[in-house]
Structures are given as structure tokens and as C-alpha cells.
Structure 1
Amino acid sequence: MSVKEGSSNGFIERLESLRGVAALWVAVGHSMIWLVIGSETAIWSKRVWEVHGVQANLARALITFFSGAAAVDIFFVLSGFVLARSLAGAVLNPASYVQFVVRRLFRIIPAFWFSLLVVLLYLTVLYPGHAVMPGASEWFNHWYADPLSVKAVLENATFVSPWLNPNAWTLKVEILASLLLPLIVWCIGAKGMQGSAARSTLVLVGTAALAWFYRDAPSDLAHYVYMFVVGALVARHGGAVRQGLLESNVFVVGCVMLVVLASACYPLIHPLYADVMVVAGSAGIICALSRGSQAKALAILGTGWARFLGRISYSFYLLHFIALYATGTVLLHLLPSEIVIRWPLAVMVAGCLISIALAVPLALLAFNWVEKPFTLIGRRVSIMQAGVVRQ
């Protein structure tokens, strides 16, 4: 969700830039794991100090600072914050709930279906066919090994399977969490409401307990719902944090380092302890940005490229994987296997740059011709649907 869309309390540009930076993390993170590096076949499943070899260590260091797993957590906390702000002061009733859900579906699904169309065009027109290529990682070889079928397309379009676009599992979590957000916001209570702090604590503890029970289910909503709650709590109670603390570079850098440490000390597969560290760090960053902090450590989010990437971040997030997969497939067919096996880091860096260069214009096209128009349609449809419910 764009930070602008649905926010009734004003547009915070640097929060949108944060989403763009997080989308770039996912792109770089994926770009560093599609080849085997020496004896390391899955560097994302190991801690930094468990990886061996110069190239493998450099790649693991890159995905420590560009962690796709951490980026997903940031997305979820940020969504909880933005959606809670958009619901501030709203009365929870069937009409307002329908209005909210319709807007969310029109915001998320059309761009996702467009990404599936791009994938299908690639697989049916340009894809040379699946083959296990020398040097490719198990993660890369896993995708598109099965024959394309109508059943597979329907399962992907309805979020039953993420086979065509592996990022789809996060959209399923996002949609299900969005269905719960109005209830979560109501449970937390409005600012200044008597007992709001106690209610907020109860909701956070309850959803954190749910995450603990589902800690071994890293694609399940129960594993992540507390992240949306944390975002909503920042929206509700962030104003109580001292502005001087939020202006401190030490505080902001500390929040960033918490995210980086989680990515260094744990495998990048959403272990609960790592997620909690990332959520805490991202909550602090979001709180600082929402309060207008001018800490120098946040200056990067005010740059032109960050603002641009923030605007197209959702489409970029959806489309980069197919650009990377297509780029990787071409490189594996063009380059001698000896080069791929001996210099995998250099090949992956080249693939990263090429795939980002391909994904950015495609994402800009999707943003202008799919995201924006369907977001506006969703607003109009939600108003009509709300009127029908009231009647």
C-alpha cells in the first residue's frame, strides 16, 4: 500500500521512501542467492560466521545489509501504521468495513494480477524451458520446474500457491491482516481513551503469543499479525515518545543496527527472535519518520531516487523477481559454466544490476497504468458498496 493512499492524517513522503528502500533490499537479497558459491548452496540459511569462502562471505554480508526477510517485516509494520492512521477516528460498522476492504483489494490485487500476466507472457513466449543449470542454486532451480497449467494460474491468482510469483505469499498475509486491522484498531482504542494502554498491551501480548505458537510456520498469518499490531500501536501511541529522542542520530542508527544485527545473527528465513529485533528497529524508525525527525541518519530517505523508488515500490517488488529470473536464465545460457562456477559473485552482481534496470521501467508502467487507476476505481466502488450496505 502506498503511504499516501488511504491516509487521512497527511502524506509522509519519507515513509513511502522507506518502502522503496525495503523493496530494493528484497531485489538485492534475491539477486545474491540464485547461484551456488563454492561449497555454499544456501547462504541465506546460515548466520554470517557460518559461511565459508571469500565470495560467499561477501555475498552473505550484502544480504545482511540488504535482507529481503527484514524488508518484509518492515512492510508489515509499515502497513499496520499506515492503515491504523487511515482508520483513525473512523466508526467501525458494516459500511465502513466494506469500504475499507474494497479499497484494500483494489489496491493489492490488480497490480499482482498484472505481475502474473507478465510472468505468463515470459513463460509462454521467451522462456527456453526448465533445465537444471550448472552453478544455479536449488532456490533458482525450484521455480517453473512444473508444466504451466490453467489450474496453476488459478491457484496463483487466488493466492493458493506462490509458484508463479514467489512474493505472493506476503500479499496473502497482507490481505488477511488487512481484514483484521479495523478490529485491531477498535480493540486498541482511540488516543486518550480510558484504558487504551491496557487494551493495547493485551492485543500486543495476545498476538505475540500467537506468533510464538506459530513460530515454525513462517508463511502463516499468525506468524506475522503482531507486526501489524506494532505498526498500529506506533500510530496510536507514537506521539508519547520524546521528540528529542527521535531527533537523535544515536537512536536512529541504533534502530538500523538492530535490523542489521538480526540479519547477521540469524538465518534469513523469519525465525521469531530475528523478526522481533527487526520489528523493534523498524517501529523506532517509523515512529521517528512519522514525527518529522530530522536526524541526519534518515537523510537518505529524502533523496530523489528514494522518493521515486518509493512511488513505484509495490510494482517493483512484484516485478523484480521475474526480471531477475529472466536475467539469470539468459546469463546461465550465455556464460560458460566455468565462469559461473568460478566467479558466481560477479555474475550475481551483474544479474542484480541488469534485473533492476529491467524492473524499474516495467514497474513505472505498472504504477501509472495499473496501480493508480485501480486505486481510484477502488475508492469509487467502495463508496457505492458502503451505500448499498447502509441501505
Structure 2
Amino acid sequence: VECLDGLRGVAALWVLIGHMMILTGFRLPLIGKPDLGVDLFILLSGFLMMYQYRLRAGSEDWDAAGTWASFWTRRFFRLAPLFYVALAAALIAGPLIYADRVAIDSFLGQSLQPSERYTDGSLANIALHLSFLFGLLPDYAFRTPLPDWSLGLEMQFYLLFPFLILLGRRIGWVPAALVAAGGGVVVALLAGAAGLDYPMPSFLPLKLQLFLAGMLIATDPGESQPRQWSRLAAAMLLAAIPIGGDQDLLHFAVRELLVFGFFALVHWRSLGVIGWVSRLLGSRPFYWLGELSYGTYLLHLLILQPVAAAVIGEFGTGLGGAGRFALTGAIVVPVTYALAFVTYKLVELPGQKLGKAVIRRVAGDRTPRALQTAPEKIAAP
């Protein structure tokens, strides 16, 4: 799917630009909503997991516990190595970054962030983040300088994914998605009734519908057109479920457009402008934006907040919002992508190799050769 890498890159850049706008006081509609970039990541993640399942269907037995273990191992080693490096940096630099954030919020007249989000070095906070369990607990779901709430969310989806596969194979993919989404809504409502107030939608039932919508977009190319249309309709219905994040008209419309547009890029890429956009997103520059998307997403706030604070401290009201945004971006964007490239080479790729080595050691010759060497992609941050 040639557009996939480019869309990953666009999603990461969307989040980066949106956060730059928030932290410099320069706002534009749509692009200034980084949460919508995360929603795109979530759609891509659901699609990618289902797409890889279909590619490996002939060589993986999803009724076997070993397949589940290999899947979870691959996904852990795709996310964890860079996250652990970034987490260490965030915990060390947290108090300094908090001082920068206070300066930014005070200048822009925004509500101050809770200090514990930046300064909590407790063993409980560290243990919950190392285990990726932090997203389940409202008090710890948003408690580092990183935008890592979505990583805990992603890990919850990975944990659930094999069960979704079994359900889909038993009752069909669209019914399974609707049943799972309905269950997610019930759990989310019960959590709200129990007083669980998540500062970010880090609890899987709050965003499960978007993962499921992405899974439905990964249809079998051999399916009939009516079946594909039914999947698109179901995916758009799922994206319209009003839980998890902002639910105003803009967010509703953009989520629907993201689902429809992604479906078009996957299934109608032979058509005119859609094909041109798909090829553009599959070009070499967009490929690299996609490869660096995880590092860009995870690391950018560690760079952005000190730089934005420095720009504000140096120029104050002498520089307008657009000027602050431009100057901050001129520093943050190249530095972030350079750091993402370095960590991609030194952390992400070795981490993936380590994960494959662990699988080979445990599974031995039972692991198909194609799976031992296949690159691991990540969509959602």
C-alpha cells in the first residue's frame, strides 16, 4: 500500500505543527488540532495490523498460542526501545521542561499544567510506564513530558488484537467490529459512571472504534464491490461514535473524511487524482517522513517546549504569534527530524532486530523465514 508511509509521516507532522501552534499562540483551523493527527495514526494502526494479518495468513496459525506470543513480541520491540530511551530523557529533564512550560503558559495566558506531569519520578510512575500499564489509570495516563498516552493505548490494542481476529473469523469482520465497538462503548460508559476521568483518551474503549474502522479498511482486494462498500459504511459509522476526545462538528467531519479518504487511497488508487496522491505519498521523501514518524512523534515535545520558551523569553510581545511559530519551527523541525533519524538508526532498527532474535530463539525453526526478516511497521504512536 504505497500511501501508508506517507500518511504516517503526515500524521506525525500534523501533531508536531499542531503542538507548535499551541505553544506559540499561533492558531489555524484544522492543522492546529494535533489530536486529529493522532486519530489518523490510530486508523493507520488498525489498518496495518489487519493488513499484516492478511499478508501472513498463510504462514501464521492464529489458533496457536505461539503466534500470539510472536505478535506481541514483535510489537513490544517495535515500540519499547525508543520509548524507554525517551522516557529516561523525559524523567531526567522533566523539572527543566516544566519550568519552560510554565513560562509558555504564563505568557500565553493558558492554564498551567499540573507539575506532577513533568516532575513525577516515583517508582510507581516509572513502573507503570515501563510496563505500558499507565494508560489504564487516569492519574498516570498523562504523567510525563512525552505525548506517550497514545503508546499505552496502542499497547492495549495490540493485546486485544488476537481476540479480535478470532472473533472476526468466527462471525465476520463487520459484525465483529460492531460487536467490539458496542462492547467498548459500554465499558467506556461504565468507566465514566465509576468516576474514571481520563485527561487524554488513553483507555482503549475510548478509541477502539477508530482502530476497528482502520481494520475494516484493510479489506480483501478480491471482495465484491458491495462488500467493500458495506465495510466503508461500517467504518464511517464506527468513526462517528461520539466518545474519546473532542466531539464538536469539526472533529466529527474530519474523522469521517479521514476514513473515507484513507479508504479511497487504498481501494481507488487507480483513479485519476486519487492515484496521483497515492503515488506522491509513496514517494521517497514521504517514505522517509513515515520511517521517522515514530521518533518525530515521541521526541518532539522534548525539543519544542524549551525552544518555544526560549523564543518567548527572548522576544516576548515584540514578536507576534506567526513570528513565534515561524522562528520556533525553523529550529524545532530540523532538530526533531535529525534526532528522529539518529534514534531510528541507533535505537529503532536494533530494537526490531532484537525482537526478531528473541522470536527466533524461542520459536526456532518454527518461525517462517519471511517473518524472521520482514520489516516491522508502526502506525500509531
TM-score tier, shorter chain, comes to: 0.7 to 0.9
| Aligned counterpart for 1:115 among listed residues 86, 90, 94 | 86
Task: Say yes or no: does 1:231 pair with 2:214.
Answer: yes
Query: What is the SS of the residue equivalent to 2:145?
Result: coil
Inter-partner Cα distance in structure 2 for 1:230 and 1:214: 22
- 1:377 Cα offset (Å): 1.2
Aligned to 1:75: 41
Any conservation in 2 of the 1:106–1:375 contact (CA below 8 Å)? yes
- 1:83 Cα offset (Å): 0.9
Any conservation in 1 of the 2:117–2:145 contact (CA below 8 Å)? no
- 1:231 Cα offset (Å): 1.6
Structure 2 segments unaligned to the other structure (5+ residues): 135-139, 368-381
Structure 1 segments unaligned to the other structure (5+ residues): 1-11, 38-54
Amino acid in the other structure paired with 2:317: E
Closer, same or farther in 2 for the Cα pair 1:198/1:320, shift >3 Å?
Answer: closer
| Aligned counterpart for 1:91 among listed residues 58, 61, 65 | 61
Amino acid in the other structure paired with 1:84: M
Aligned to 1:13: 2
Please give the residue correspondences for 1:133-148 in structure 2 after superposition, counting only pairs within 5 Å: 133=103, 134-138=106-110, 142=114, 147=119
Alignment deviations for residues 269-311 of structure 1 (CA, whole Å, 9 cap, x no partner): 4338766644443333333333360414445413443221111
Q: Which has the larger displacement, 215-224 or 226-235?
A: 215-224
Inter-partner Cα distance in structure 2 for 1:301 and 1:313: 14
Structure-2-length-normalised TM-score: 0.73
Closer, same or farther in 2 for the Cα pair 1:101/1:128, shift >3 Å?
Answer: closer
Inter-partner Cα distance in structure 2 for 1:338 and 1:282: 37
- 1:130 Cα offset (Å): 5.6
Aligned to 1:282: 258
Amino acid in the other structure paired with 2:303: A
Inter-partner Cα distance in structure 2 for 1:96 and 1:236: 22
Aligned to 2:247: 271
Closer, same or farther in 2 for the Cα pair 1:194/1:362, shift >3 Å?
Answer: closer
Please give the residue correspondences for 1:173-252 in structure 2 after superposition, counting only pairs within 5 Å: 173-189=153-169, 197-207=174-184, 210=187, 217=198, 218-236=201-219, 240=223, 242=225
Closer, same or farther in 2 for the Cα pair 1:144/1:345, shift >3 Å?
Answer: farther
Any conservation in 1 of the 2:167–2:176 contact (CA below 8 Å)? yes
Please give the residue correspondences for 1:1-391 in structure 2 after superposition, counting only pairs within 5 Å: 12-35=1-24, 37=25, 59-61=27-29, 64-88=30-54, 89=57, 90-92=60-62, 93-120=64-91, 122-123=93-94, 129=99, 132-133=102-103, 134-138=106-110, 142=114, 147=119, 149-151=121-123, 152-159=125-132, 160=134, 161=140, 162-189=142-169, 197-207=174-184, 210=187, 217=198, 218-236=201-219, 240=223, 242=225, 269-271=245-247, 277-291=253-267, 293-294=269-270, 295=274, 296-298=276-278, 300-335=280-315, 337-339=316-318, 343-386=320-363
CA RMSD of aligned residues (A): 3.8
Alignment deviations for residues 243-287 of structure 1 (CA, whole Å, 9 cap, x no partner): 9x99xxxx9xxx9xxx9xx9xxx9x94338766644443333333
Any conservation in 1 of the 2:94–2:119 contact (CA below 8 Å)? no
Structure-1-length-normalised TM-score: 0.72
Inter-partner Cα distance in structure 2 for 1:319 and 1:344: 23
Any conservation in 1 of the 2:84–2:130 contact (CA below 8 Å)? yes
Any conservation in 1 of the 2:2–2:279 contact (CA below 8 Å)? no
Closer, same or farther in 2 for the Cα pair 1:229/1:301, shift >3 Å?
Answer: same
Inter-partner Cα distance in structure 2 for 1:382 and 1:237: 28
Any conservation in 2 of the 1:26–1:68 contact (CA below 8 Å)? yes
Any conservation in 1 of the 2:5–2:282 contact (CA below 8 Å)? no
- 1:372 Cα offset (Å): 0.9
Any conservation in 1 of the 2:74–2:352 contact (CA below 8 Å)? yes
Any conservation in 2 of the 1:77–1:227 contact (CA below 8 Å)? yes
Closer, same or farther in 2 for the Cα pair 1:120/1:188, shift >3 Å?
Answer: same
Alignment deviations for residues 113-167 of structure 1 (CA, whole Å, 9 cap, x no partner): 122233355458x769568434145367556776463535445444433332331
Amino acid in the other structure paired with 1:334: E
- 1:363 Cα offset (Å): 0.2
Closer, same or farther in 2 for the Cα pair 1:387/1:283, shift >3 Å?
Answer: farther
Percentage of pairs with the same residue: 23
Amino acid in the other structure paired with 1:357: P
Closer, same or farther in 2 for the Cα pair 1:211/1:292, shift >3 Å?
Answer: farther
- 1:108 Cα offset (Å): 0.6
Any conservation in 1 of the 2:97–2:145 contact (CA below 8 Å)? no
Alignment deviations for residues 314-348 of structure 1 (CA, whole Å, 9 cap, x no partner): 0111011111012112223322x3325xx233213
Closer, same or farther in 2 for the Cα pair 1:146/1:304, shift >3 Å?
Answer: closer
Inter-partner Cα distance in structure 2 for 1:196 and 1:147: 44
Closer, same or farther in 2 for the Cα pair 1:24/1:195, shift >3 Å?
Answer: closer
